[in-house]
Structure 1
Amino acid sequence: MIKTKYSIAVSALAAAAAASPAYAADGRYPVTYVQKVEITHPSHRSAWENKDFLDCDDVVLTEEDVFYALRYMRRISWKSYDPENTDTTGCEGKALVTFKSGKILAMGIEPTGRISAGEFDAGMKPTTSPPSFYECDPCRQRKMALLKDALNRADERRLKRLVAEGRISEVEAERRLNWVRDQRDKP
């Protein structure tokens, strides 16, 4: 009897976990109500850009990226978003998403899945809704896989600089580059 109650409880918990994905979309911005997406800055660099990690010229925000973010972004606090406390590439694409209701969402999307958003009315006046901050791990995984070549080029630049400074040998740089690329190619 106890074993049966335990199995029912475990089954119920498993069903509940399957029904609510870890990265559910923010219900205020349903993809089905998107009227238009306008990419205002496909590639923008901030003061946080780190070309040793990623050159912002290699990062281009697409309409597909915006829809993907709307599907999987999860709201977080400013403290969790703050660039001084988290990893950032310093690269960001910007977009305006217009919904059928007339609401406009201005989004800044980084390849790391960090997203900032502000709401505006149809006349581009800010709404009373405060700015929002999101993270989207599925977005990060997807975009970083697409940026594999750009990340490899950044690794090459960084290692060439270390060789030029005499901090490592060319043989060591080649070994490290091959190791990093192998790690990046793992599923």
Structure 2
Amino acid sequence: MTRTKNSITVAALAVAATAFSVHAADGRYPVTYVQKVEITHPSHRSAWENKDFLDCNDVVLTEEDVFYALRHMRRISWKSYDPENTDTTGCEGKTLVTFKNGKILAMGIEPTGRISTGEFDAKMKPTASPPSFYECDPCRQRKMALLKDALHRADERRLKRLEAEGRIPPGEAEVRLKRSKAERDKP
């Protein structure tokens, strides 16, 4: 009986260790080896920008965002990252992260937690490593919570435009805006 309990305990620990490693950040980019973070474009808009959802002028990438992303990003396939198949704000901050070994990681970080990367050597020549794509749900939750006011402003723009176009009844924009704000402000 004790042997069975030990076997079950060992099996459970192995499963837990496997699950933890699946959710671990990319070990190629340890935060402890970061030498320098240079934000090259704190706020950049792409062709995917949707001001009805979020105005890119309201989104600014910070050094804290970069470190948070390095700690929490999970690698995904291009298919999972492709803007045509996923939600995107069209806003992205760009940064160069230099590691102590000379490797430079160029990152594009969206407030939705979508991250694209490319590796370069110390002379800014691309390495053999192909571009990588990541998602970071903790980054999305954190950044979107910080962007509540910007999201409220985008909702207001969208709803007032719909009301002006006659697509929603007069006064309905205010009602929907209050409802949306209350939903977003829930803990």
TM-score normalized by structure 1?
Answer: 0.92
* 1:13, distance to aligned residue in structure 2 (A): 4.7
Post-superposition Cα deviations, 1:73-117, rounded to whole Å, max 9, x if no partner, equal: 000000000001110000000000000000000000000000000
Q: In the alignment, what sits opposite 1:180?
A: 180
Query: Where in structure 2 are the equivalents of 1:153-172 lying within 5 Å?
Result: 153-172=153-172
Q: In the alignment, what sits opposite 2:101?
A: 101
Cα distance change on mapping 1:18 and 1:170 into 2, 3 Å = farther
Matched, 1:87 2:87: yes
Letter in 2 for 1:69: A
* 1:169, distance to aligned residue in structure 2 (A): 2.3
Any runs of at least 4 consecutive aligned residues in structure 1 with deviations exceeding 6 A, and if so which? none
Residue 171 of structure 2 aligns to a residue whose secondary structure is helix
Post-superposition Cα deviations, 1:127-164, rounded to whole Å, max 9, x if no partner, equal: 00000000000000000000000000000000000110
Q: Quick check: 1:49–1:55 contact (8 Å CA) kept in 2?
A: yes
Gaps of 5+ in 2: none
Cα distance change on mapping 1:23 and 1:15 into 2, 3 Å = closer
Query: Where in structure 2 are the equivalents of 1:9-88 lying within 5 Å?
Result: 9=9, 12-13=12-13, 16=16, 20=20, 23-88=23-88
Cα distance change on mapping 1:19 and 1:82 into 2, 3 Å = closer
Letter in 1 for 2:46: S
Work out the CA distance in 2 between the residues paired with 1:173 and 1:14.
Answer: 53
Identity level (%): 84
Residue 170 of structure 1 aligns to a residue whose secondary structure is coil
Post-superposition Cα deviations, 1:9-39, rounded to whole Å, max 9, x if no partner, equal: 4993598269827642100000000000000
RMSD of the alignment, in Å? 2.3
Residue 143 of structure 2 aligns to a residue whose secondary structure is helix
Cα distance change on mapping 1:50 and 1:10 into 2, 3 Å = farther
Work out the CA distance in 1 between the residues paired with 2:160 and 2:22.
Answer: 40
Work out the CA distance in 2 between the residues paired with 1:170 and 1:185.
Answer: 25
Work out the CA distance in 2 between the residues paired with 1:43 and 1:22.
Answer: 31
* 1:182, distance to aligned residue in structure 2 (A): 1.0
Q: In the alignment, what sits opposite 1:123?
A: 123
